[in-house]
Chains A and B, each alone.
Chain A
Amino acid sequence: DQQVKQNSPSLSVQEGRISILNCDYTNSMFDYFLWYKKYPAEGPTFLISISSIKDKNEDGRFTVFLNKSAKHLSLHIVPSQPGDSAVYFCAASENGGSQGNLIFGKGTKLSVKP
Chain B
Amino acid sequence: KAGVTQTPRYLIKTRGQQVTLSCSPISGHRSVSWYQQTPGQGLQFLFEYFSETQRNKGNFPGRFSGRQFSNSRSEMNVSTLELGDSALYLCASSLDRGNEKLFFGSGTQLSVL
Which residues of A are in contact with B by a Cβ distance under 8 Å? Answer: 32, 36, 41-46, 49, 51, 89, 91, 96-107
Contact = CB atoms under 8 A, between A and B. Distances in A.
B96 to A, nearest CB: 10
Interface string B50-66: 10000110100000000
A91 B106 CA distance: 18
Contact of B43 (A89, A98, A99, A100): A89
Contacts of A103: 45
18 contacts: A42-B106, A43-B104, A43-B106, A43-B107, A44-B43, A96-B99, A97-B99, A98-B98, A98-B99, A99-B99, A100-B97, A100-B102, A101-B45, A102-B102, A104-B35, A106-B41, A106-B42, A107-B43
B90 A46 contact: no
B111 interface: no
Contacts of A89: 42-43
Contacts of A96: 98-99
Contacts, number: 71
Contacts of B58: 101
A46 B101 contact: yes
Contacts of A46: 101-103
Contacts of A106: 41-42
Contact of A32 (B50, B97, B99, B105): B99
Contacts of B97: 98, 100
Contacts of A49: 99
B86 interface: no
A104 B43 contact: yes
Contacts of B106: 41-43
B75 interface: no
Nearest to B58: A101
A29 B101 CA distance: 20
Nearest to A32: B99
B102 to A, nearest CB: 5
Nearest to A46: B101
